[in-house]
Chains A and B, each alone.
Chain A
Amino acid sequence: MKRKSAQLDSISNSASATPVAESPQSSVVKTNNTSSGAVGGVSGSELSDSDVILPSVLHFKRSQLSDRYPKGHSRGRHWKHLKQIIQAENYLLYPPDEPNYISIDAPPSMYPAKKYCDITGFEAPYTDPRTKLRYANAEVFKKIRSMPDEFIQGYLALRNAAVIIK
């Protein structure tokens, strides 16, 4: 009896003591969870605010990136897009057998691409010469022909085949 009640106690203790979103403890870092119990005492609005917005001063920070790249008069502040980054990498200067971002790009498929209906997803034996949409049957064709241009372009864009007017 005694042992049982003790067990129960420990279970209820652990249940009540385990705080809400604490992660299971590892062997290396011994953490003490009791402190996080205090979080429940803070009122809801304060909690959400302090959870959402960062404090204005972060003591662990040495400098702000924006100080290094002040607005306006530095080219460094303009962040290159992936394409520009790749271009600037100049992979040609490096040994050809060294793997790089471009070399690991996948090749095109060896098999012909299967054609699927743009609307229903079924296999599509036909292509509408007017809208260039692929369709599975007459019913879909009827639908395509009564579709506004906007939707036709939307469906084409799904497979990157929309007409882009620049």
Chain B
Amino acid sequence: MAETSIRPRRQRDYHLIPRQHPLVIDNGAFRCRMGWAGEDTPRVEFRNVVNKPRHRASGETVNVIGDFDPSLVKTFDFTRAAVRTPFDGNVVYQYETMESILDYGFERMGIEGDNQIDHPVLMTECPCNPAYCRGKMAELLFEAYDIPAVAFGIDGVFSYLNNRNQGVSEADGLVVCSGHMATHVIPMISGEPVMEAAVRTPVGGYHVTDYLKRLLSLEYPYHVNSISWEKVEELKQEHCYIAGNYHSELEIFQNDGPEAEEKTRWWQLPWVPSPPEKEPATEEEIARKAAVKEKQGQRLREMAAAKRSSKIADLENEVVGLEQLLLNLDADDEYSDALLAESGYLSREEIQSALTKASVSLKKLKGEAVQPEPEKVDETPDKEKYPLLDVPNSLLTAEQLKEKKRQRFLKMTSEGRARAKLKRQEEGLEREREKQLDEERRLANPEQYLEELRTRYGELAARAEGRKRKKQKNGSGASAGGQPATGTLVLGGRGERLSASQKERMRLLTTAAFDRGKEEDTFGTRDEDWQLYKRMSRDGDDDEDAEEDDAELARLEARLQEIDSTFQPTLGLVPGAQKTSVEVQAPKPLTAEDFRISLGVERFRCPEIVMQPTMVGVDQVGIGEMVEASLRRLPENLHQLVVKGTILLTGGNALFSGLNERLATELRACRPFGSTIRVVKAANPLLDAWRGASRYADSSALRKFSFTKEDYEEKGQDWLRKHKLIYSHANTFS
């Protein structure tokens, strides 16, 4: 099928075709073939689809009929155009699409005419085409193209007749026509199909391709964009075959031996190797980088120093100015008020405090040890400080009462402060003592101490790890599966048991939702009710506990690092510990193998759906049993006639290698012992239907059995229900 990618050329010899010469159209669900009666090959052949891309320049949508041509992408935007087919299953239902296709086909045929096509048409249709479809097709042909007559025949039967003519098949037999959308089995008696015994399963080449495409897309989700329908169709045609014995073939692959490898095909996707890995930096490089860094640091340091010195100068100026001001104030009292007003300070005390503040910060900047501002220990007894506290309220005025309140507050806060300070001091002492004790223990028995430390650390780390995992599991529960990349395979997901606390939470939530409305709603009248929300929001584990553990863990880790040089932190709570794990996770560069799609089992698994439609959920018999089913529908006396004749395989799926042998074995298993079974492949499974039709149209039979325009106008579409070709008309086939 190499020629399929070429768009058909317009035929230029129309003027040589006699008028009224029949047109033959094999209107298959996959490909449409058109040609003149009596010829050996169709003139025009294309995929029976319409694409409606947008013209990039003008923006208008156009109909592009037939095979997808990658060269058109330049002029047309295909991104939003869906491929339309006139078929639903194996039946034509969209007659507007069909019209576009016929337009294209007739135009390619070079047909010229004055508002009419003066050629009778013989068109193929599916077996037992519904009368409605036949009527609509006739309407389209008569009304739009004004053809003189039309006849409809079955593609598989035409193929059988053509093969009979070539001596491949006999007058009696059976045609197995596995097309694009469906597979048919039709018994043939003396050259006539027995439609009463025909059998159809809606599985065909399209489904095989679709199955393969979906399988590959699921297996290689990263390459979904490369797995186009056209490409998969090509892969199918090239690599797929029907296994002689499906189960033994599967076993070959299950054992995964050299034979399986031999049978595996690879499809290498276009792949650009990633740039070679960066070589580890040389010492010079490192030194250079360090120098650059050092230089930058130096500059920053210099800037900071300059800023500091300027600030020191400012402060010094301020201190000197303030001191001068104080001296001036001391020197003469007369002008002190004027001086104060000039300086902007309100009082001498204020100037004093500003001076101390400035000098303290100056000292700080200069790096001198600053004496912590001596806590003004108020030695004044409480009695003097808070004189009003001891006086009974009754003796005080309103003003004084207010003052008393303030004093009491001040007293309380200062007392609290003192207590806190004391406590802090005590704690510090305690810690110091503990540390000392620790150190002593270490010095007494360093080995044992280290061991203890390690076990304690291990315990805590394990606990933290467990907590982390639990949290992760809860988190990934919704997405079912989580990421296995985290190292520990997380088997969370649907149906996973909930922990006790989670269960409790769920119970609370559901009762909260459903308890309402039973009786009078009293929720919230008691204070305990509100505790419910607290319990609900608790998410399984106690976080406080975890925090404490983490702090302890970090402390232990730091201590261990301090005294044990061989220590490796497992959790990375201490910064700097994560470095190693990051290095390990550096992505592996992609290789050609990552861009390779393997076809192993798929090679025979996909075509197998024609033999076993249940594999794709179609609960109907496969080809082998179809023959049986067809025979069952046939009167007993005809069985022998059919079985002794030829079983002809035609249609696109007949191209799968191994189908003959497989069907023969399956039939032999069902038929009585010793029956002869002759399964043959059509001479050309794709073209024979058209060729048979072409021969038929070339005989006088067409005129006899076709439905003319006069019939159409007189009797109407309904009459077409009874339309039936007699295939074995006297002079049709020898």
Taking the closest CB of chain B, its distance from the CB of A134, in whole angstroms, is 11
A79 and B116 contacting across the interface, CB-CB below 8 Å: no
Query: Which chain B residues in 212-253 approach chain A with CB under 8 Å?
Result: 214-215, 217-218, 221, 247, 250, 253
Contact of B199 among A21, A106, A160 (CB under 8 A): A106
The DSSP consensus for interface residues of chain A is loop
B604, closest chain A residue (CB): A121
Interface centre among A59, A81, A106 (most CB of B within 10 A): A106
Q: Would you call B510 an interface residue if the criterion is a C-beta within 8 Å of the partner chain's C-beta atoms?
A: no
Contact of B9 among A51, A60, A116 (CB under 8 A): A51
Q: Would you call A20 an interface residue if the criterion is a C-beta within 8 Å of the partner chain's C-beta atoms?
A: yes
B489, closest chain A residue (CB): A146
Give complex CA distance A39, B199 in Å. Answer: 47
Which stretch, B137-145, B560-568, B649-657, touches the partner chain A?
A: B137-145
A60, closest chain B residue (CB): B113
How many A-B pairs fall under 8 Å by CB? 230
Taking the closest CB of chain A, its distance from the CB of B36, in whole angstroms, is 5
Q: Would you call A30 an interface residue if the criterion is a C-beta within 8 Å of the partner chain's C-beta atoms?
A: yes
A145 and B115 contacting across the interface, CB-CB below 8 Å: no
Query: Which chain A residues in 97-139 approach chain B with CB under 8 Å?
Result: 97, 99-101, 103-111, 113-114, 116, 120-123, 130, 136
Q: Would you call B28 an interface residue if the criterion is a C-beta within 8 Å of the partner chain's C-beta atoms?
A: no
A85 and B625 contacting across the interface, CB-CB below 8 Å: no
Give complex CA distance A61, B482 in Å. Answer: 61
B43 and A160 contacting across the interface, CB-CB below 8 Å: no
Chain B contacts for A29, CB-based, 8 A = 13, 16-18, 21, 36, 38-39
B140 and A65 contacting across the interface, CB-CB below 8 Å: yes
Chain A contacts for B493, CB-based, 8 A = 130, 145
Contact of B615 among A31, A58, A64, A159 (CB under 8 A): A159
B200 and A148 contacting across the interface, CB-CB below 8 Å: no
Query: Which chain B residues in 79-132 approach chain A with CB under 8 Å?
Result: 88-89, 91, 93-96, 99, 103-104, 106-107, 111-117, 127-132
B484 and A109 contacting across the interface, CB-CB below 8 Å: no
A79 and B617 contacting across the interface, CB-CB below 8 Å: no
Taking the closest CB of chain B, its distance from the CB of A60, in whole angstroms, is 4
B128 and A99 contacting across the interface, CB-CB below 8 Å: yes
A103, closest chain B residue (CB): B128
Chain A 25-41 per-residue mask, 1 if CB under 8 angstroms from chain B, else 0 = 11111111101100100
Q: Which 3 A-B pairs have the closest CB atoms?
A: A160-B617, A28-B38, A26-B39
Known: A82-B91, A145-B491, A151-B218. 12 other contacts (CB 8 A): A22-B9, A26-B40, A28-B21, A28-B36, A52-B64, A54-B103, A60-B111, A62-B143, A108-B620, A116-B605, A120-B601, A122-B601
Jot down 6 A-B pairs with beta carbons below 8 A, ordered by A. Answer: A21-B8, A59-B113, A61-B144, A101-B128, A109-B614, A109-B622
Query: Which residues of B pack against A, CB within 8 Å?
Result: 3, 6-10, 12-13, 16-18, 21, 35-43, 62-64, 69, 71-72, 75, 88-89, 91, 93-96, 99, 103-104, 106-107, 111-117, 127-133, 140, 143-146, 184, 195-196, 198-201, 211, 214-215, 217-218, 221, 247, 250, 253-254, 479-482, 484, 489, 491, 493-495, 601-602, 605, 612, 614-622, 625-626, 629, 698
